[in-house]
Amino acid sequence: MSAHSSLRFDDLHWIALNGAPTAQTVLDFFRGPEGSSPFWDRNCTNELCIQQGRDLFEVAKMAGVRYEVVATPLVSLRVGDACIVNAGGRGTPFLAEVRNIHLDRSIEVMYAFDRSTGREPSEHVRPHPPSSFTIRKVRRFVDERPELVEAVFYVTVSYAPVSASAYRCPDVETVVAARVENTAFHLRSAFESLLEQRAAS
């Protein structure tokens, strides 16, 4: 079992300074101050670029270990989709149609016909921010071999109050070992129970 699999990483100071992690800042949170997170490999190409003041876009082209955020789209809606919105502090959800999705990820919606005004009001609403991010530790080789995912982590985010924690996802070996151990326990218990019933009869 990996030594890191049961660890959790929090950085309350980072949260106090920066607020909730976003897709653009979650790697900075995950790294910790001066690369102090127990999940962060200080020899990774991300750290090398940070220390040398190089552009972080170079990381994907460099051989070695890197960390990357797996893209999670905030908006899964398309223009024309129906959605239910509770925008503008109305307190009551409204049925609306998506009219436009803007570059800043806000959505322009057109509400159903409003009898009080006799027109269809439109409004810009922003989708809820993500409650978690996935980060992969990837090794890129010098030759043409495919990249190898060495570990997967996730960062959970809460917004009231603002907090975030990073965890390592268990690898397949750990999951299988835990299930085998659990199965062995139940088989042993069933066998002991059977022996007790035989002894009693």
Query: Is pLDDT of 101 > 50?
Result: yes
User: What is residue 102's predicted lDDT score, i.e. its pLDDT?
Assistant: 56
% of the chain beyond a pLDDT of 90: 25
Across the chain, mean pLDDT equals 76
Same domain, 64 and 91: no
Question: What are the tokens at 174?
Answer: 């750990």
What confidence category does residue 90 fall into, taking pLDDT thresholds of 50, 70 and 90? Answer: very low
Same domain, 18 and 93: no
- What would the pLDDT profile of 108-124 be if each residue is shown by its tens digit? 555 554 445 544 555 54
Per the structure, the complete domain to which residue 180 belongs is given by: 172-201
- Pairing of the two strands 107-111 and 94-101: antiparallel
C-alpha dihedral sign at 3, 171, 157, 101: positive
Q: What is residue 74's three-state secondary structure?
A: coil
Same domain, 36 and 54: yes
Residue 188 or residue 126, greater confidence: 188
| DSSP element (H, E) containing 84 | strand 82-85
- What would the pLDDT profile of 30-53 be if each residue is shown by its tens digit? 999 888 899 999 999 999 998 898
Mean pLDDT of 46-75: 83
User: What is residue 5's predicted lDDT score, i.e. its pLDDT?
Assistant: 47
Q: Is residue 30 part of a domain?
A: yes
Q: Is residue 3 part of a domain?
A: no
Enumerate residues 6+ apart whose C-beta is below 8 A from 93.
Answer: 84, 85, 86
Q: Is residue 107 part of a domain?
A: yes
pTM beyond 0.85, yes or no? no
User: What is residue 153's predicted lDDT score, i.e. its pLDDT?
Assistant: 92
User: What is residue 177's predicted lDDT score, i.e. its pLDDT?
Assistant: 83
Q: Is residue 155 part of a domain?
A: yes
Q: How many domains does the chain contain in total? A: 3
In angstroms, the CA 122 to CA 10 distance is 40
What confidence category does residue 10 fall into, taking pLDDT thresholds of 50, 70 and 90? Answer: very high
Say which residue the tokens 């994907």 belong to.
Answer: 60
User: What is residue 160's predicted lDDT score, i.e. its pLDDT?
Assistant: 76
What confidence category does residue 27 fall into, taking pLDDT thresholds of 50, 70 and 90? Answer: very high
- What would the pLDDT profile of 131-177 be if each residue is shown by its tens digit? 788 999 999 998 888 888 888 998 988 877 888 999 998 777 777 88
Same domain, 155 and 98: no
Mean pLDDT of 105-110: 53
- Burial environment of residue 68 by CB neighbours within 10 A (0 to 12, 13 to 18, 19 or more): middle
What confidence category does residue 1 fall into, taking pLDDT thresholds of 50, 70 and 90? Answer: very low
Q: Residues 72, 136: contact at Cβ < 8 Å?
A: no
